Chain A
Amino acid sequence: MKPPTELDAPPAPDADALAADPSVENPVAGIDQAVGDFTYDVKYEFDAGSGLNENVIRYISGVKKEADWILDFRLKAYQTFLDKPMPTHWATKDLENINFDKIRYYLAQGQKPKRTWDEVPDDIKKTFERLGIPEQERKFLAGVEAQFDSEAAYSNVKDIVAKQGVIFLNSTEALREHPEIFRKWFGKVIPTGDNKFSALNSAVFSGGSFIYVPPGVKVAMPLQAYFRINAENFGQFERTLIIADEGAEVTYMEGCTAPKFSTSTLHSAVVELVALKGAKIQYITVQNWAPNVFNLVTKRGLAMEDAEIKWIDCNIGSRLTMKYPGVVLKGKRARGEVVSIALANDGQHQDTGAKMIHAADDTSSLIVSKSISVGQGRATYRGVVHIPKHLKGCKNNTECDALLINTNSRTDTYPAIVVRGDTHAVQHEASVSKVSEDMIFYMQQRGLTEAQAMSLAVNGFVNDLVRQFPMEYSVELKRLIDLEMEGSVG
């Protein structure tokens, strides 16, 4: 196993040819994805067709009535996408099963998100009602954006938050209405050429949330986006940029689902966070993709002096997830944190981790990762911690724990920690455990079925992390884990 050579590429261990036996066609387990597994027939007003070429990009940019610089940005990114090889020299060969010619890159019913649910077309409104979004919004959210395939169908921020000067828009609106705020950081935290999929996203991005929180404003309730894939053979490429100005604080949550199609679907987002001096951003993801979704997401934050960025990331579902949220600790005393939970069930590969790039004195970072592999599921942790020689007083603590449920479950850990200099403190702990037969018997002896016992053991394993999620999400998470564990035994 070799450590990665370049920092901006995903951490690269050995060329791993073990994964993705092409003779096995995505052996989808009989898990209950029922919550998200439904579609309504939707008529699309805007459709870029299948496959990708310059015309598709011009079409997307055209219907969005974008400024020239954005079209240029897209076309350059498309070239980068074509030039970049698939990262299969370190990542799974399953990536080769993505057929870029079959994907539909842009599908939208309208261009402007509605500000009230009443205005949202019925079929789309029904979808989000079934997912409980309007209800959550009423209960505990400061603002919601609901994206349906390529565009937001609904976007609204509560008055009280808007009055504080908080901007919460989709990427198209934000770049058009507030270029002075967003252009400065757009594509700066994650450059187009960071990896093949960040380039693809830069070429065809649509939707996502652009948020600006003015200096000193602390948004009390979370802002939420919900990403819904409805169409078959579709690629969703949302783009999110959150800027917390000096001393500002914001929590953002995203949820994702898609129905179970027989063909594969691609979700490839780029999420950039900028926390200016003393600002705090907390970014929470609970994804529950259907088991045929390729989920290839690039997420990174830039933390300035005394700023704090925390990623809380929960990956359930999908066929393959590759995601390594990172923080570049650019200012003194900046703090970065990644807390992640991954559950890989039969036919799924959760390849997740974290990157902490220390670039100033006295910066500190924390990575806590827990993964669960069920059946033939595979969980991989990849991490990069980088502390260069010229810095002083940096700290990192990494902890990754894996839980294997069945004897054929698999977990791999590839931590790459590069620390130079002699004033830093770095700690790494890793563990692999199994749910013991005795523990299951003990619980069964108290009257729980084997499946209930397994669920409880798994929930216990992630319990300390789940508690960091907002209440509504932790309840949801527990329920999702219960569903995933059904049928995992016997």
Chain B
Amino acid sequence: MSSTLEIRALHVALASSPDKSIVKGLDLTIRTGEVHAIMGPNGTGKSTLSKAIAGHPDYVITSGDVLLDGKSILEMEPDERARAGLFLAFQYPSEIPGVSIANFLRAAVQARMAEGEELDATAYYKRLYAKMDMLKIDRKFTSRSVNEGFSGGEKKRCEILQMAMLEPTFALMDETDSGLDIDALKIVAEGVNTLKSGSLGVLLITHYQRLLNHIVPDYVHVMYDGRIVKSGDKTLALELEAKGYDWVKTDLAAATA
């Protein structure tokens, strides 16, 4: 069954200064099986967009809507949104001291089960190990505290592992490529490609084209000053890479002149 994530005329501001919008009227529709890349210079609201959709308390949605299969998710708590199928791969994942990856994921998997339903520990570990193998993560990792003392690359792989275990409908991936060397980038990309072949819709936020060589997007959007100003297919990313973001700015200036 295919699903749709629809972002409608979305305006987002910091909860601490709700009068100053960061995302200023953004429209985007993602269907399962599609990969949308959002590119754009620093400070255009890309990360804000992903956190606001996930329900981070630092942000308020001042107008517009986000709909999952036609139903607004804005009244839902962040955990309800997550259980409804939304996954945010964090740019800066939090450390959780003393909580092992195995226990954390187990709690997250359990949270998705019906009340009274017991998690099958053997099956859970079997699945966990399979996903870890796919992402080339050492099994010793399961007993390490979540993200504590992880390198940048380890943190990102851990995010993808969680995504693989939780099987979301839509993944918002916030600069998953930052801090990765080329080998790690390939592993992460392979992981995402495997997952999206199922019924996953991806919103990929990135500065650089290089990730898009490995995760090929169906659509590329350029975000600037809180809006999507240009959309196209994967060739747009290459064009951006060649011409730089200034090209978008001049284009924009010409269009509004």
A447-B83, A461-B97, A462-B98 known; A441-B56 Cβ under 8 A: yes
Docked complex: A436-490 residues within 8 A CB-CB of B: 436-439, 441-450, 452-453, 456-457, 459-464
Q: B97, A448: Cβ atoms under 8 Å?
A: no
| 12 residue pairs A–B, Cβ–Cβ below 8 Å | A437-B57, A439-B95, A441-B57, A442-B94, A443-B104, A444-B55, A445-B78, A445-B79, A446-B105, A446-B162, A448-B107, A456-B107
Docked complex: A404-463 residues within 8 A CB-CB of B: 436-439, 441-450, 452-453, 456-457, 459-463
User: A274 to nearest B CB, angstroms?
Assistant: 35
Q: B99, A444: Cβ atoms under 8 Å?
A: no
User: B195 to nearest A CB, angstroms?
Assistant: 16
Q: A443, B112: Cβ atoms under 8 Å?
A: no
A456's nearest neighbour on chain B, judged by CB, is B99
Q: A447, B96: Cβ atoms under 8 Å?
A: no
User: B176 to nearest A CB, angstroms?
Assistant: 15
Indicate whether B93 reaches chain A with its CB closer than 8 angstroms: yes
Q: A446, B98: Cβ atoms under 8 Å?
A: no
Q: B108, A438: Cβ atoms under 8 Å?
A: no
Q: A444, B98: Cβ atoms under 8 Å?
A: no
Give complex CA distance A442, B97 in Å: 13
User: A422 to nearest B CB, angstroms?
Assistant: 36
Q: B111, A447: Cβ atoms under 8 Å?
A: yes
Q: A444, B78: Cβ atoms under 8 Å?
A: yes
Q: Which residues of A contact B104 (CB under 8 A)?
A: 443, 446, 456
Give complex CA distance A445, B174 in Å: 14
Q: A446, B82: Cβ atoms under 8 Å?
A: yes
Which 7 pairs across A and B sit closest by C-beta, in order of nearness? A460-B98, A463-B98, A460-B99, A442-B94, A444-B78, A446-B108, A444-B79
Q: A461, B98: Cβ atoms under 8 Å?
A: yes
Indicate whether B166 reaches chain A with its CB closer than 8 angstroms: yes
A437-B57, A441-B78 known; A452-B111 Cβ under 8 A: yes
Give complex CA distance A477, B77 in Å: 29
Q: Contact flags (1/0) for B59-87 with A, using CB distance below 8 Å?
A: 00000000000000000011100110001
User: A105 to nearest B CB, angstroms?
Assistant: 43
Q: Which residues of B contact A462 (CB under 8 A)?
A: 98
Give complex CA distance A461, B148 in Å: 13
Give complex CA distance A436, B95 in Å: 10
Q: A447, B77: Cβ atoms under 8 Å?
A: no
A-B CB pair tally, cutoff 8 Å = 79
Give complex CA distance A462, B107 in Å: 18
Q: B96, A442: Cβ atoms under 8 Å?
A: yes
Q: B77, A450: Cβ atoms under 8 Å?
A: yes
Indicate whether B160 reaches chain A with its CB closer than 8 angstroms: no
Q: A438, B107: Cβ atoms under 8 Å?
A: no
User: B49 to nearest A CB, angstroms?
Assistant: 15
A444-B77, A457-B99 known; A439-B111 Cβ under 8 A: no
Which of these, B58, B77, B82, B96, contacts A457 with CB under 8 Å? Answer: B96
Q: B82, A460: Cβ atoms under 8 Å?
A: no
Indicate whether B88 reaches chain A with its CB closer than 8 angstroms: yes
Give complex CA distance A463, B99 in Å: 8
Q: Which residues of A contact B90 (CB under 8 A)?
A: 442, 445
Known: A445-B79, A461-B98. 12 other contacts (CB 8 A): A443-B94, A444-B55, A445-B55, A445-B87, A446-B108, A446-B162, A447-B166, A449-B79, A452-B111, A456-B107, A459-B98, A462-B98
Give complex CA distance A450, B112 in Å: 15
User: B211 to nearest A CB, angstroms?
Assistant: 21
A462's nearest neighbour on chain B, judged by CB, is B98
User: A267 to nearest B CB, angstroms?
Assistant: 30
Indicate whether B178 reaches chain A with its CB closer than 8 angstroms: no
Give complex CA distance A447, B109 in Å: 8
Q: A439, B108: Cβ atoms under 8 Å?
A: no
Indicate whether B145 reaches chain A with its CB closer than 8 angstroms: yes
Give complex CA distance A438, B82 in Å: 15
Give complex CA distance A105, B166 in Å: 57
Q: Which residues of B contact A439 (CB under 8 A)?
A: 94-96
Indicate whether B228 reaches chain A with its CB closer than 8 angstroms: no
User: A223 to nearest B CB, angstroms?
Assistant: 30
Q: B145, A460: Cβ atoms under 8 Å?
A: yes
A441-B56, A442-B90 known; A447-B99 Cβ under 8 A: no
**Residue in B78, B93, B107 whose Cβ sees the most chain A Cβ within 10 Å:** B78
